[in-house]
Amino acid sequence: MAVAEATRGTCGDDLDNDGDTDLAMLNQQAKPTILRNDTRQPHHWLQLRLVGIRSNRDGVGTRVTVVAGDQTQIDEVHSGRGYQSHYGTRLHFGIGERDRVDRVEVRWLGGNREVFENLPADRLVTIIEGTGAPAPLP
């Protein structure tokens, strides 16, 4: 289906919690457009949702390092990324053929540092500041 709209902003996030990024587009004088990414990929992923206790609630400014095998990735939680656009506060890491993450280091904006090891792939993990362990899955 082709969509022809004047789009003013976008939001990229995993709307259906299946490990890939979907898009919501804010259209001028029209309903929003939702583009679901239903492409099946053989690769693995890990998403992190950070909840601050001493830092801000959404973990904005928190820096995360993920190590999976020989691969190291670094990302930071942002609150917005452009005029009328947003890319969620979850961090998404593609880890290829690896089915586990060896190490996750979280450096909270307030200065606290936490390390989590041996996390399984293909899931959303919530980390609450200061608890020392990922929160149980809902």
29 domain-assigned:
no
pLDDT (0 to 100) of residue 1 = 62
135 domain-assigned:
no
7 domain-assigned:
no
CATH of the domain at 67: 2.60.40
pLDDT (0 to 100) of residue 136 = 60
How many distinct structural domains can be found in the chain? 1
70 domain-assigned:
yes
pLDDT (0 to 100) of residue 40 = 80
44 domain-assigned:
yes
Strand order in the sheet with 44-51: 91-96, 44-51, 123-128
pLDDT (0 to 100) of residue 124 = 92
pLDDT (0 to 100) of residue 138 = 53
20 domain-assigned:
no
Q: Which residues of the chain have pLDDT under 70?
A: 1, 3, 81, 136-138
Please give the full DSSP string across 48-89, using - where no structure is assigned: EEEE-SSS-TT-TT-EEEEEETTEEEEEE--S--STT-B--S
Domain residues for 48?
40-128
124 domain-assigned:
yes
32 domain-assigned:
no
The residue assigned the tokens 């709209």 is 5
